[in-house]
Chain A
Amino acid sequence: MTKRLFYSPDILYLCTIITHRTMKGIRKRVLVSFLSVVFLLFFAGLVSLFELRRVSSDTEEILRASERNLELAKEMLDAAALQNKAVVHNIVFEQQGYDTVLRASINRMAQTMEIVREEALDQTYLDSLSSAVTDVQRLTQKYIRIQANRMSAKTIRLHLPADSDSVHRVIPMNFDGARWYAETYSKAYDKLTGSIKDYMISTQSSLAPQTEQLKRNAYRSVTPVLISLMVMIAIVVMLYYFISAYLTRPLLTMNKALGDYLRFGLPFKVKAECRDEAAELKERIGEVIQSAKKAKAEQR
């Protein structure tokens, strides 16, 4: 047997041999069976935990993406609003202190746009958003340049004659800020806020397939647990059948046969299904009966 085992490449055959060698005792068999059920229970629990964690992390990811999208949209809207406020203050009230705010808001918008470009889930509206931002930035920068030129022109005018042609050529002194704001800037601003809203809506819509995926993941997380439980039910049914066939039934049969022998003197005949303690018990009862018969015969 050792030689055959050594040369056999068949792992399953090896497993069979091992189970034959070790699974003789009832106690061992029952123990291994219960351990299998316990393992499967533990395993089902583990799978369930693992899958639920995955679903949870997916949900968290979707929520985080949605939150981030709102954050970025808010940041862009804030930057645009600040820029608009600064432009208005500059034009209407001619408050030069808002130049710094204007530049800061341009930078803020540029930085936010950069982040949006990197993190955008849906690229559909990114181009129109980018173009709207560029338009507003270009207009704002143009306005800053004009303002700077006007300031320097004022300074130059203090030193040059007022009717100098060169000053009028370089700096448009007839620049109407309010009109420029109403006709050019506010349109670009509206376009920008519209694009930001579109971006916000599109990103939220792009989360829809992920949510659908989440639904599928939820199904996937339940399936392995259900299958594990199904296998466990099959194993428990088999365990019931085997315990009934290898433990309960032999004991009941032996009990009945022994009772029949003692009460009516019927022969003790029990069929053994396997070579375990139940079979040994049957053999020993048989031996006791034989020795009792022998002793009776000797007494006679």
Chain B
Amino acid sequence: MRLNVVLRYVGIILLVIALFMLLSAGVSYANNIDSGFYPLLLSSLLTALLGAFPLIFVDRVEQFSSKEGYCIVVSSWILACFVGMFPYLIWGGEFTPINAWFESVSGYTTTGASILVDIEALPRGILFWRACSTWLGGVGVVMFALLILPSLGTNKAMLTNVELSPMAKHNYHYKATMIAQILLLIYVGLTLCSTLGLKLAGMNWFDALTHAMSTVATSGLGTKNTSIAYFDSVAVEFVLIVTMLLASLHFGVIYATITGQRNNIFRSEVTRCYFAIVAIVIVCVTLSLYFGETYKTLPEAFRHASFQVVSLISTTGFATADTNLWTPVAIVLLLAVSIICGCAGSTSGGIKVDRFLLAIKTLRLRFSLQQHPNAVMRVRIDGNVLEDKVVNTAIAFIVAYFFALFAGTVIGTVCGVDIETSFTAAIACMGNVGPGFGEVNSMGNYAGLPVVVKFSSTLLMLLGRLEIFGLVQLFFLKWWK
């Protein structure tokens, strides 16, 4: 492991982050130099200095190993979260060190959970920085660097392999450079279309842009204390539902649909399964809310149910209603979709529909093999036979995922948090969803949780975002040799 090489490339990523901080300072400047200007400028300068320093010593390398690639990606995420808390810390207000760390990790990992009681008290510069951090995190900080840095050359493939979810790679049939370009195209395109849609739906330009950035990243960090309920607009909700659905699909599949290729949205088995889950859960939640008398009319129940279901399954976490007051059936269904989440290759977190489908098919296969012990059967998705290694890794991921959820719940309850809050907060953080139930409900926040729980929640967010194994690997000393 060449530490100097890792430092050099992590430094480049820090420079990219510094650039976005400077952009946010620009927003602050345009907004009559609000109170966020000075913290953002200062943070940008310090981050740039920290990032540029290794470039003085370390020359560009032609090739680095997979270990170095892993180390660059994981270190970049952790350091991005670390420097991302600088503007919050310097600005002050509700941001204590742990709160700033929580907000930064929540932003980069696109969780969208917040410790802020009064979001509207933040200056526009800081609000824009929150949106930028989440937008950068949505596409992946390293992937973003790959998109804008031609100097990385052949190392792009290595970093792309590490940054992309293993499940996502199956749907990409392109070179690393092409994958990065597709990501950029879809990501920026969706952001622009969503901004325009939200503007037309009645938001102002600033709210439209920040909400679009947050939605495309499936983060859910808004600019209002009452999230989307503040706007109380069907048009805004419709635009957001469409954007959330698209952002939680495999970007490669969206690209294939646009370019008229065969592996498009309508043919992809995973996408069809995803839409089926969304439709079934919406219908069930709507009926539950209507017959449970949470809402008086069916259209009203459908409006809130569809928004909340799409918001949680896409791991965005925006809210139009206080889901704490919903029926137990609706709550259980919402928790279930918070675990399954969107498709691999999208910006959403969680187990992902691909793995869920694979687990269901593996279970079915196991039952079939019990009935026909001598049969030769394999798991297939989209007609392709999956290797045992892929299946085993997916199953191991699901097991590790639930183990992490259990650990998160135990830490919460040990620290005196009630079981409902602990469990749902663990689900919400691990799946990068944001809102849970209990104290951390859709209209609440994480401000009241103990410091240890806030910290463990940030670890869960990073674990979920880096798909567990990436982060865990970093802590094995043997791996460093």
B373 at the interface (CB under 8 A from A): no
Per the 8 Å Cβ criterion, residues 233-270 of B in contact with A are: none
Cβ-defined contact, B150 with A47, below 8 A: no
The reply to whether A224 and B90 contact each other, CB–CB distance below 8 Å, is yes
Instruction: Specify which of B49, B57, B60, B92 lies most central, judged by the most chain A CB atoms within 10 Å of its CB.
Output: B57
Question: Are B3 and A241 in contact, CB atoms less than 8 angstroms apart?
Answer: yes
Whether A242 is near chain B, meaning CB under 8 Å from some CB there, is yes
Is A238 positioned at the interface, with any CB of B under 8 Å from its CB? yes
**Which residues of chain A come closer than 8 Å to B16, judged between CB atoms?**
12
Indicate whether A246 reaches chain B with its CB closer than 8 angstroms: yes
Which residues of B have CB within 8 Å of A15?
15, 52, 55
B353 to chain A, nearest CB (A): 36
B368 surroundings in chain A (CB, below 8 A): none
Q: B56 and A29: CB pair below 8 A? A: yes
Contact in complex: B59, A274 (CB < 8 Å): yes
Interface range for B: 20 to 34
Distance from A242 Cβ to chain B, minimum over Cβ atoms (Å): 4
Contact B151 A13 (CB under 8 A): yes
A33/B53 in contact, CB under 8 A: yes
Which residue, B12, B19, B49, has most C-beta atoms of chain A within 10 A? Answer: B49
> Smallest CB–CB gap between A38 and chain B, Å?
12
Contact with A along B41-68 (1 / 0, CB 8 A): 0110110011011111111100000000
In the complex, chain A residues 254-283 whose Cβ is within 8 Å of any chain B Cβ = 273-275
Contact status A47-B92, CB under 8 Å: no
Per a CB cutoff under 8 Å, which of B3, B50, B93, B151 touches A16? Answer: B151
| B297 on the A face (CB < 8 A) | no
Say yes or no for A220: interface residue by CB 8 A criterion: yes
Is A40 an interface residue, CB under 8 A from the partner? yes
In angstroms, Cα B146 to Cα A12, docked, is 12
Distance between Cα atoms of A234 and B7 in the complex (Å)? 12
B381 an interface residue at 8 Å Cβ cutoff?
A: no
- Quick one: given A8-B150, A12-B148, A231-B46, are A32 and B90 in contact (CB under 8 Å)? no
B149 at the interface (CB under 8 A from A): yes
Partner of A227, one of B12, B56, B89: B89
| Contact A238 B150, beta carbon cutoff 8 Å | no
Given contacts A32-B56, A235-B49, contact A227 B150 (CB under 8 A): no
Q: How far is the CA of A220 from the CA of B39 in the complex (A)?
A: 10
Q: What are 10 residue pairs bridging A and B, where the CB atoms are less than 8 Å apart in the complex?
A: A10-B150, A13-B151, A16-B60, A23-B56, A32-B56, A224-B90, A227-B89, A238-B7, A242-B58, A245-B57
Q: Which 10 A-B pairs have the closest CB atoms?
A: A242-B57, A220-B92, A13-B151, A19-B55, A231-B46, A224-B90, A274-B59, A32-B56, A223-B89, A16-B151
A residues contacting B by CB (< 8 A) are: 8, 10, 12-13, 15-17, 19-20, 23, 29, 32-33, 36, 39-40, 43, 47, 216, 219-220, 223-224, 227-228, 231, 234-235, 238-239, 241-242, 245-246, 273-275
Q: Which B residues form the contact surface with A (CB < 8 A)?
A: 3-4, 7, 12, 15-16, 19, 39, 42-43, 45-46, 49-50, 52-60, 86, 89-93, 148-151
